[in-house]
Amino acid sequence: MAGVSLFDAMGEDAAPSEPRRMSLVRLSALIAQAAGQLGRVAVEGEVHRPQTGRTGRQWFTLRDRASQISVSVSSGRRSRCRVVAGERVCVTGRLEWVNDWGQLQLAAEEVLPVGEGAIAAMIADARRRLQAEGLLTRPRRPIPLLPVRIGVVCGHEAAVRADIESVVAARFPGYPMAFLETTVSGPAAADRIVAGKGKNVVVFDMKTAQPDDDTLAAVLLGPSGNLKAPTLRLGRTLLIGFSEPAYRHVFGK
């Protein structure tokens, strides 16, 4: 069976009515292979019955007058996918076969509205979210010509520290510097997680009040699905993302 495609023609010696015998596992693998060979596609249709799972993944049915297909949106792709019931959209993604369900679905990379009115609504929604987080009304402070101190966060015994010290000594002799040696780690190893969310600081006590996965993912993960950068481990505290209020909370300055 090696090298056989799902749509290979039968051999010349085989009778036209003779079925090809194979296991269910083999059949599923061939369907997945055939779906993957189609590559990236862009399909237009209407969003029907959108749902969101515990982990942040979304599902909906993309349909038109004659056909429909299930669409899956991972939590890491949510920021690039506008899913509104009844809206006409263009879904860009790849077909994939889900063995557990025995179903072919479209794994979305991007879901964009079709039509000027829908695009204007998407922009308005984005502005409302930014406004609610205080990002559009935040006062802007003048940028100083030079910082009061050069701060460097690096690993323990990192060679980059000596490189930075030599460059600063050559260009700005005597300039104040502060080094913080730390390690980058996952949240499972930390007793406390501190993250900035807009103007607020979110603190999780992982020993006494550990949050559920959805709550933790909403605070820790960026649009790409990875931990927000920078991620620093300071002793038993994990500091997620760049946020002045969160930094003041941890460093007390």
Question: Which of the four pLDDT bands, split at 50, 70 and 90, describes residue 156?
Answer: low
Check residue 160 and give its pLDDT.
82
pTM: 0.42
User: Which pLDDT score, from 0 to 100, does residue 188 have?
Assistant: 46
The dihedrals phi and psi of 215, each to the nearest 5 degrees, come to: -65, -45
Mean pLDDT, range 149-169, rounded to an integer: 83
pLDDT in tens, 44-87: 988 889 988 888 889 899 988 888 999 999 888 888 888 888 88
Amino acid at site 249:
H
- d(Cα 145, Cα 129) in Å, to the nearest integer? 33
Second CATH level (architecture) for the domain 24-132 = Beta Barrel (2.40)
Q: Please, are residues 109 and 103 in contact by the beta-carbon 8 Å criterion?
A: no
Which tokens in the block code for residue 193? 């997680």
Residues 6+ apart with CB under 8 A from 120: none
Q: Where are the domains of the chain?
A: 24-132, 150-251
Q: What is the mean pLDDT of the chain?
A: 79
Chain segment 89-134, per-residue pLDDT in tens: 899 999 988 887 888 899 898 888 887 666 677 777 788 888 887 7
